[in-house]
Amino acid sequence: MDVPDAIQSRRSIKRFTERPVTREEIERILEAGVLAPNHRMTQPWRFLVLGPRARRAYGEVLGDRKARRVEDPAAAEAVRRKVADEHAALPAMVGVAVKLAADAETREEDYAAAFMGIQNMALTALAMGLGTHLKTGAVMDDPRARAALGLRDDERLVAILNIGEPAEAAPPKPRTPAAELTRWLP
Ligand SMILES: Cc1cc2nc3c(=O)[nH]c(=O)nc-3n(C[C@H](O)[C@H](O)[C@H](O)COP(=O)(O)O)c2cc1C
């Protein structure tokens, strides 16, 4: 599969088969991540590969956050359990963090570099027959989520990447053509 084909066929995959993702597969995906461009070779990325216990711990935090929006206590508890169970059952889950630089400009560049690494990881996973789903949001800064991933004080969690064999053929989401979003300057 060449790179344009991989870019064309990549989709966010929300349902995975039960086929486990091996340590070797995860290592290959992470090695693609570290090849991303990064200004001044800061290599800011740090990877947290979550086993079932850590996935459940993270899922409990996320489930608890979602359950807060549910009024009925029994329904809230069901949400909590469902999200925790879903996370524990994921074939693979990688937290991507950046080591925080001292200055704001480098912190911003490092955050951007981390996402270039994530795209490398997603496309490499795709070429290996695996699918990915990138997750972010306010939970990234939740101290309980940080604790579940064992983050250090000088690390910022930027995203979670779920990885597994796709159990669905996700259709492409319509995109506005680049031509409509481009201004060519003389
Ligand atoms: C920075 C970033 C954050 C994202 N966060 C989430 C998320 O928190 N939850 C989610 O379901 N999808 C998340 N996504 C996935 C997008 O929803 C998805 O890429 C988009 O709907 C386009 O679908 P596609 O990836 O299949 O092309 C995120 C994507 C990016 C780039």
Choose the residue to mutate in 62, 135, 140 for probing ligand 1, maximizing ligand atoms within 8 Å of C-beta: 135
C-alpha distances in Å from residue 147, one per residue of 20, 26, 144, 155, 160 = 25, 22, 5, 12, 14
- Cα of 13 from ligand 1 centre, angstroms: 10
Strand order through the sheet with 45-50:
45-50, 92-99, 155-164, 131-135
User: With bands split at pLDDT 50, 70 and 90, how would you rate the model's confidence at 1?
Assistant: confident
pTM score, whole prediction: 0.96
Q: What is the mean pLDDT of residues 135-149?
A: 98
**Residue-wise pLDDT tens digits, 9-41:** 999 999 999 999 999 999 999 999 999 999 999
Compute the distance between CA of residue 59 and CA of residue 44 in angstroms, rounded to an integer. 25
170 lines ligand 1 (CB under 6 A): yes
CA of 62 to the centre of ligand 1 (A): 17
Q: For residue 172, is it left (φ>0), alpha (ψ between -120 and 50) or beta?
A: beta
* % pLDDT > 70, the chain: 100
Instruction: Look at residue 99 and give its three-state secondary structure.
Output: strand
Structural domain boundaries in the chain: 3-181
**φ, ψ for residue 27, nearest 5 deg:** -60, -40
Mean pLDDT is lowest, of 26-35, 101-110, 166-175, for 166-175
User: What CATH number has the domain spanning 3-181?
Assistant: 3.40.109.10
